[in-house]
Amino acid sequence: MPIFEYRCKACGTKFEKLVRGNEKVACPECGKGRLDKLFSVFGVKSGEKFTPSSGGSCGGCSASSCDGCR
C-alpha cells in the first residue's frame, strides 16, 4: 500500500498518509487540500536519505511525481 508524504502549502505541516484508491487527502492541521506530495514509500525505502526541507529542493526525491523539486 502506498504511503505518501505531503506538505501543506497553507501551513507547512508535513504528514504521511496512506492513500487508498482516489481518497482525498487534506491537511490534518488546517484541513486544506492544497498539498505538495513529497515522497512515496512502497514498503521499503531505497536507502536514499530523505531530507525534510521547506525550501525549494526536497533532497531525497527521485520521482517525477514530486512537486517540490520541479
Q: Which stretch binds Zn ion (CB under 5 A): 1-9, 17-25, 42-50, 62-70?
A: 1-9
Count of residues of this chain found to bind Zn ion when the rule CB under 5 A is applied? 7
Q: Let me know if 35 is exposed, middle or buried by CB neighbors in 10 A (0-12, 13-18, 19+).
A: buried
Q: How far is the CB of 27 from Zn ion (least distance, A)?
A: 3
Which candidate, 27, 28, 39, 47, places its Cα nearest to that of 67? 39
Q: 70: which DSSP letter?
A: -
Give yes or no for residue 3 binding Zn ion (CB under 5 A).
no
Query: Where along the sequence are the contacts to Zn ion (CB under 5 A)?
Result: 8, 10-11, 13, 27, 29-30
